[in-house]
Structure 1
Amino acid sequence: MTPQKGEKKRLDVLMVDRGLAQSREQAQRLILAGEVSVGGRRDVKPGQRVAGDAGIEVRATEKYVSRGGLKLERALECFGIPVKGRTCADIGTSTGGFTDCMLQNGAARVFAVDVGKSQIHSRLRNDPRVILIEEMNARNLSPGSLPEPPEFLAVDVSFISLLLVLGPLSQIAAPGAECAVLVKPQFEATREEVSKGRGIITSPEIHARVLRKVVEAAPGLGWWPVAAIPSPIEGGSGNREFLIHLRKSTGPAQTGTGIDIDAVVGHD
């Protein structure tokens, strides 16, 4: 329904009405990212009421259904991980940014695993290459949980340490599988550190410590750390995040990864 000339509507709703966004959630992300202007002004808010005939411009459209796709895109590029034709898994799917990125890079199929339900974008839900594994906690995955072992896994989990997830993922992964893991310091730091920063971890020392913790624990959980990089964008709450490239181990746990954690974090 097209709004009347003098009628005012929420900006995010109006964007959906005009086809400038697929959903209110996407419209809100674009607005908060500063990609939307009304009458030439970018200091706008999703709930701001604007005239039905207002001039709305979107500076850039989203490449993926969520910002997570941009994070995985950088990981695939920097780590040189091919996904074309491979069976993949998105652990902690949520809206499906990682899934979208894998599909756009040629994945044959993606097992979308999430502890929640009905969160994935409708476009991905209706894609025959996406196999939904909903209401599944990643720490409870075991051989047989997925239709077949994935050759590549992308991991973005919240409110749980990666140290509780990497072991089960090694058990379900195909031999030689590769993995891109998003490290969120606020879920790896101590409770005191998180409380002190009100959920925001800004200390480079803490960033380095939690990243080192995951890297050093990985071999004992069935994964060999190959490389690490900072995420190209911050998390939704402004937290810095990092990406680690892992490869499934085929022999006994090794020591010494060769990854310069301080260089990755930018900590002198």
Structure 2
Amino acid sequence: MATRVPSWALLGESAPLPGFLHVESIAARAAERGWHIHTHQHPELAQFLVVSGGGGTARVAGADITFRAPYILRIAAGTVHGYAFLPDTAGHVVSIVEAVAQERGLLKPAGSGWGVAEAVVLGAAATIERLARVPGPEAVALVAACLRLLDAATDESAVRSAGRAGKEERLKALLAAQPVGPRTPAELADALAVTPGHLNRLVRQVTGMTTSQALNDARMRHAAAGLLHTTRTIAEIGQDAGFDDPAHFSRRFKAWCGAAPSEWRQGVRGKAR
């Protein structure tokens, strides 16, 4: 007699997910279960397992996947899966209503697991932690950036692709996801598995900029969106963009667009009235 696979909203819960996104640590449910999660499925939820420390074995659709940090595993909605984690494995589980995310263009239909560059995983983990603290309406930009990064990290056609087209698409995805993920030219080269010289040529071809200029431009565009669409302070927006010093952020933003963040925010909002 076949064993019935449990179906949950979130693990062990039958109530629908409030909103369309949920974030929690791996330890939140795994530690109390002895780091073993029996096979189950989430009919409506896609999940990203973002492992920044430790590892274990995942059983996905009947196949065993052994993983070590840094690692990202994507589980499509309705896929039977379970885990045997090493004790004290660190990271997060991002659960998202798959149909809603796809309708909003935040997630492509797919499902795979990949060992990826450490900078990508740690960048995703940092953003995921911020998602848990930012008010709902103001988290939209972070959600979109985080999902673009996770989607790119688990996109079979892009990850470690030897073809130029694959690397160009991966580069575009990593720049679009800024400030999540690689923040320096060296980290970006590592994420794309190319040499610094190859990266410079690739970035110049795709963006017309140097690697440093392209990374800075992507971060400033993210900051500008925060200034325009949220009420967060300039210091908070600068920190999200990777600048711990508000004065440094203001100088870099002014060099980028010709106006300090406060002046730019006031000017753009004034024109919108």
Which category of TM-score, normalised to the shorter sequence, fits these structures?
Answer: under 0.3
Return the TM-score normalized by structure 1: 0.28
Higher relative helix content: 2
TM-score for both structures, normalised by structure 2: 0.28
